[in-house]
Each structure stands twice: as structure tokens, then as C-alpha cells.
Amino acid sequence: MHVPDGFFNAATSVGAGMVSAGAIAASLRKAASELSDRLVPLAGLVGAFVFALQMLNFPVASGTSGHLIGGALAAVLVGPWIGCLCLAVVLLVQALLFADGGITAYGINVVLIAVVPSFVGWGAFRTARALLPASRAAVVTASGVAAFVSVPVAAALFAVLFAVGGSVDVGFGSVLAAMVGVHLLVGIGEALITGAVVSAVVATRPDLVRGARDLVPAPALRARAAGDVAGGVAGEVRA
Amino acid sequence: MTRTAGIFVLAGLLVGLGLALLVSPLASSAPDGLEKVAEEEGFAEAADPQLDAPRAGTAVARPVGVLVTFGVGLALFGTVRVVRARAAASSGSPVATPPASP
């Protein structure tokens, strides 16, 4: 869903740039209060892994493909604030080094691919978890639901933004229907990939999954934290 | 970071590199959802790239992109962590550990 240069007029691009700058600033503030020493490399990994997964286009209909957005995945793994920043880093590398997503469309892409999927995904994840039993299987299911929901919501927002500030005058209704229609299919792939990755991480290191933190017994978390200090990492004081 | 968490990050990075090297050549080259809709709705021609770079990246560029993304992420999150630790140190309060509740 990477928006290239030229799709949006200057005012909309600048407006989206300001919204994304605000979202990134707020995410940086929240990330500062959430980042522990061991979360730093994990957050870097989430960005790198999403970057890799975004290259894997899968066919969704005749002559059309889709790929993971990864905002919901990142939110479940490291929380929506750090997850949003992970996606903003992915988009920056793609725009600057791969010409995937326009440089003048960076703000639009941050809104559509970082902010909306991370926070809509996290909201859907929390809602689904509240309705499901407290189990690791429920974390995987809720991740898939969150991933599925996040994609058509972002696609619908593209249609709204394009109606407001698109560089070409086309019918809002038909763009909306086409975008949501194809991205409902992309969302199925998003759900399957997200569920598979979350399932693998929950099975190996549930303590590293933000969305499964309540399922890890507190003594285990404390032991991990003690291990962090014993491992020579300074500054991690736990009462 | 614990040793096992370090191994986890290393293993995750290797899987990501493996996907970029071995699986991404098999990825569909059909237009993605937005590109397809742009073609059908008649606004695909509005695309006007401002930077000149290979669109999907070459076989070499893809794993390099994974490593660059990891490096940029480490730099960003490491900086956020250090800045907060310094701010906490200068204000005299201990560095708070994030709560364990979800």
C-alpha cells in the first residue's frame, strides 16, 4: 500500500507530514518510558523482520498481490508506540534506499502504514483478548484478528484522504469499494502471517511479547530481569 | 540483555535475512492492492517518483535493507534509551523499569 510521490497534492502531503511528525514525537516520548535495555535490540529486530516480511508479496486475486503491513504484528510484539516507530523506520529505509513509497509521501505512508495499523491493530488486539480466555492460543487468535482489521481500515483511510487531497479527481465511492475490497483479501494474508509469527515467538519467548505479558508469571519476569543485571547490563534497577 | 534474549535476536535476524535472500525471489511480482486499484480507477499515471532507485531491490539489496533497518532501529531506540537514562540521572531519580502489567 506504499503511496508513491505524485498521488497527493502538496497541502495534503504536508498535512499528513505534520500529523505523522506529531505521532512520531508522541511515540518517542512513550517509547522512552517503555524501553528497557533488552527491548532495544528486540525493537530493532521487529523493524528488520517487518522489512523482510513486507518484501514477500503473495497473490490475492487475478493479477493482484498483497504484502504484510506489519503494524499490528509490531504492536503485539513491542506495543503500539514502539511498534509505530519500528514501522516509521521501515518506511524511511524503503523510501530512501528502495524508492518504495515516495519521499514526499512519507507522511502519508507513516499515517497509513505505521500509525493506523499499529494503533487500530493494538485496539483490536486488546478488544479480542478481553473477549477470549487468557491463554497463549488467544494471544495468537487476537493477533490474527488485529492484523485482519488493520488492513482494510488503512485502505479505507487512503480512499478518504485521496478524496480530500488526491491529485486526480476520481469517484470516492468506487475508490473506497475497490481499496477495501482488495484489502479485505490482503488482510487474510496479514492475519495468517501475523498469527504464525506471534505463535512462534509466544512458543519460544512469551516474555518478549508485549501482548502476552499478563500470561508470563511475575517470578519468571523477575528472574529474567535479575538475569539482565547479572548479565552485566547496568542501570536496570528493579524494586 | 540476557544471553538467551541475545540469541533470540540473532536467530530472528538470521530468519529475516533468510526470508530476504531465499523467499523474496519467489514473491509475486503482480501489482499490489493499491497499484491495482490505481490502474483500474485511472490514477496510476499520477505516480511521479522523486528518487531514482530500483523498485523492489536487487537480490543483494534486499538482505542489506534488512540489516540497514536493524541498524537504524538500534540507533534510534538506543538513542532514546540513553537520552532517557541521562535525563533520569540528571534529575536524580532512578531509571524506572516499565511495569509488568499489560
Query: What is the value of ipTM here, to two decimals?
Result: 0.90
A52: which chain B residues are within 8 Å (Cβ-Cβ)? 16-17, 19-20, 24, 62, 66
Question: CB–CB of A58 and B28 under 8 A?
Answer: yes
Model confidence at A237: pLDDT above 80: no
Average pLDDT (A143-163) is 98
Contact B65 A51 (CB under 8 A): yes
Which has more confidence, A227 or A68?
Answer: A68
Contact (Cβ atoms closer than 8 angstroms) between residue A38 and residue B6: no
Cα angle value B34/B38/B43 (rounded, 5°): 145
Q: How far apart are CA B21 and CA B27, in angstroms?
A: 11
pLDDT of residue A61: 86
Mean pLDDT by 10 residues, chain B (102 residues): 82 96 93 96 93 67 95 97 89 58 51
Burial A122-142 (b: 16+ CB within 10 A, else e): bbbbbebbeeeeeeeebbbbb
Question: In chain B, what residues touch A56 (CB-CB under 8 Å)?
Answer: 19, 23-24, 27
- Of the partner residues A35, A99, A208, the one whose CB lies closest to the CB of residue B51: A99
Q: How far is B99 from chain A (nearest CA, A)?
A: 8
Query: pLDDT-based confidence at A43, cuts 50/70/90?
Result: very high
Q: For chain A, give the percent of residues with pLDDT over 90.
A: 87
Q: What confidence category does residue A209 fall into, taking pLDDT thresholds of 50, 70 and 90?
A: very high
Residue A83 Cα to chain centre, angstroms: 6
User: Does residue A215 carry a pLDDT above 60?
Assistant: yes
- List, for residues A80-114, the tens digit of each pLDDT value: 999 999 999 999 999 999 989 999 999 999 999 99
- Say what the pTM is: 0.90
Contacts of B28 in chain A (CB under 8 A): 57-59, 65
Residues of B in contact with A210 (CB under 8 A): 102
| Range A48-61 average pLDDT | 96
**Mean pLDDT for the stretch of residues A176-205:** 97
| CA-based nearest residue to A14, from A120, A161, A163 | A161
Sequence-distant (6+) residues with CB within 8 A of B22 are none
Instruction: Specify the pLDDT at position B4.
Output: 76
